């Protein structure tokens, strides 16, 4: 028994070492980032979870920078077979040890520290909105009339987030804005494949809009909010609701460093911030492909843009062109990317990335011009910064009022640690105060 324990400890230490060896060197944290040393430590913690469960095999073609770029079908087949083999080897160590599945390990590490009960300020209850799990935060302070309602859709690329992870964020919004906050615990992939996450969020939103008065909420003052991939969901839900004549119109949408398109991964922010935690460029695409249940062998072609046919490039160029991004966001370095060789096979396999439930930035103008007033948060040191900037321009071009707040020293995920005391980042606190002020003015 003692010998078995020693073997386990040695194996565990080796896993940790491999996690740091493979994952940590990718990080490049500029000194201008808010409390960059603290972010450096946080990067270690996050990579501990990702590294343990995602130990990469040296044969993974995506991570071999020197692999030739070829469109030969035989080469693609071989690449896919290698990837399938690597996928079976990669990230299965702890599963084979009988400890846990890889995705559950990541969720456990990133779940967060539960806050103290907030009985003095909030009524908190777990409910079902048409079979979708939600947690409702209701201020105890008396209100002269019906309150605003904030529907919060959490991030996590549809695989990691939870109500518990965003407990502090939702409590903060409810207390500071004196609003009823509903956090949606949509079902996660891979157990529940895409687009289950979007459908759950839409279902919960419709339920809340039709029963808002039961919770003391004015149905005409409901705000749909989300961060990161939750911002994707919030944008997609708002776009879907514009065609619903049986429901009140959403009062506003709040998109916090949202992911909004999977067409161009060579925009200035992807070039500048590809190695800045917490959302690294390659991790972004990896998580996105896993969310869509797509073979990771597609990643290299998608990264290069080979999945976009010429007619769609032309159509999307008016929305996604780097020319639409202000010059001040290119001064840290930007080089226009060479046009990639189009692959019809890759386009066919990657078609889900063009759906507006996954890439809301691709919605038609007829939809965009009907959207509600919008708050957009962007962070300077974030790969998806330019998604927010491009959507801001699209909304403004279509006459939609936009409140934009840019964190000049911010990074992706800065809001997640709000209300954690010393662990919190000042830039996240500043951003959240602006979010609350926006809500209070509605």
The Cα-based distances of 235 to 136, 227, 417 in angstroms read 21, 10, 23
Q: Output the pLDDT for position 69.
A: 41
CB 340 within 8 A of CB 306: yes
Q: What is the pLDDT of residue 36?
A: 86
Backbone angles phi, psi at 214, to 5 degrees: -65, -20
DSSP state of 259: -
- List b or e across 205-221, with b for residues whose CB sees 16 or more CB atoms inside 10 angstroms: bbbbbeebeebebbbeb
User: Is residue 112 within 8 Å of residue 168, measured between CB atoms?
Assistant: yes
Q: How far apart are CA 400 and CA 392, in angstroms?
A: 9
| Structural tokens at position 143 | 């209100």
Active site residue 412: yes
pTM of the model: 0.86
Give me the residues of the chain with pLDDT under 50, please: 54-92
Q: Considering the candidates 228, 269, 359, 424, report the single residue annotated as catalytic.
A: 228
Confidence (pLDDT) at 439: 98
pLDDT of res. 29: 85
- pLDDT for the residue 86: 41
Q: What is the pLDDT of residue 5?
A: 66
pLDDT of residue 22: 54
Task: For residues 414 and 273, give the distance between their C-alpha atoms in angstroms, rounded to a whole number.
Answer: 15
Using a pLDDT cut of 70, give the percent of the chain over it. Answer: 78
> Is 228 marked active-site?
yes
Residue 131 Ramachandran class (φ > 0 left, ψ -120 to 50 alpha, else beta): left
State pLDDT tens for residues 14-24.
665 665 555 55
pLDDT given for residue 283 in this prediction: 85
Query: So what's the pLDDT on residue 51?
Result: 57
**Catalytic site residue 179?**
no
Nearest to 34 by CA among 415, 439, 345: 415
Of 354, 333, 347, nearest to 304 (Cα)? Answer: 347
Helices marked H in 274-309 — which ranges?
281-291, 299-304
Write down the pLDDT at residue 62: 38
Taken in order of first residue, the domains within the chain and their CATH numbers are: 2-109 (no CATH), 115-442 (3.40.50.1820)
- pLDDT attached to residue 45: 74
Name the catalytic one among 382, 386, 387, 424. Answer: 382
């Amino acid at each position: 028994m003692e010998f078995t324990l020693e073997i386990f400890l040695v194996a565990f230490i080796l896993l940790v070492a491999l996690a740091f060896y493979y994952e940590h060197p990718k990080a490049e944290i500029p000194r201008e980032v808010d409390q960059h040393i603290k972010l450096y430590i946080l990067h270690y913690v996050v990579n501990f979870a990702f590294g343990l469960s995602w130990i990469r095999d040296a044969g993974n073609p995506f991570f071999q920078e020197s692999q030739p770029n070829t469109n030969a079908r035989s080469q693609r087949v071989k690449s896919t077979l290698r990837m399938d083999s690597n996928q079976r080897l990669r990230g299965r160590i702890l599963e084979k040890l009988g400890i846990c599945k890889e995705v559950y390990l990541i969720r456990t590490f990133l779940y967060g520290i539960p806050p103290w009960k907030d009985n003095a300020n909030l009524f908190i209850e777990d409910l079902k909105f048409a079979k979708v799990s939600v947690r409702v935060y209701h201020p105890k302070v008396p209100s002269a009339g019906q309150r605003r309602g904030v529907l919060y859709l959490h991030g996590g690329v549809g695989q990691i987030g939870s109500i518990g992870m965003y407990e502090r964020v939702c409590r903060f919004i409810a207390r500071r804005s004196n609003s009823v906050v509903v956090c949606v615990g949509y079902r996660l992939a891979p157990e529940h494949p895409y687009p289950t996450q979007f459908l759950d969020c839409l279902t919960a939103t419709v339920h809340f809009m039709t029963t808002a008065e039961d919770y003391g909420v004015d149905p005409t003052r409901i705000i749909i909010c989300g961060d990161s991939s939750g911002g994707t969901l919030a944008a997609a839900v708002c776009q879907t609701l514009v065609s619903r004549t049986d429901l009140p119109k959403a009062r506003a949408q709040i998109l916090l460093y949202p992911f909004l398109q999977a067409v161009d991964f060579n925009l200035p922010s992807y070039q500048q911030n590809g190695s800045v935690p917490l959302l690294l460029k390659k991790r972004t695409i990896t998580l996105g492909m896993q969310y869509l249940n797509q073979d990771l062998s597609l990643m290299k072609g998608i990264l290069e843009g080979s999945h976009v046919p010429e007619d769609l490039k032309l159509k999307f160029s008016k929305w996604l062109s780097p020319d639409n991004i202000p010059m001040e966001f290119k001064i840290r370095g930007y080089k226009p990317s060479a046009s990639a060789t189009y692959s019809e096979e890759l386009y066919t396999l990657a078609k889900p990335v063009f759906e507006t439930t996954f890439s809301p930035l691709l919605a038609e103008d007829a939809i965009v011009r009907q959207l509600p007033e919008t708050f957009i948060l962007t962070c300077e040191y974030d790969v998806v910064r330019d998604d927010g900037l491009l959507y801001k321009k699209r909304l403004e071009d279509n006459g939609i009022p936009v409140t934009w707040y840019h964190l000049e020293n911010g990074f992706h995920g800065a809001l997640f640690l709000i209300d954690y005391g010393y662990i919190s980042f000042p830039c996240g606190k500043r951003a959240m105060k602006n979010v609350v002020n926006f809500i209070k003015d509605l």
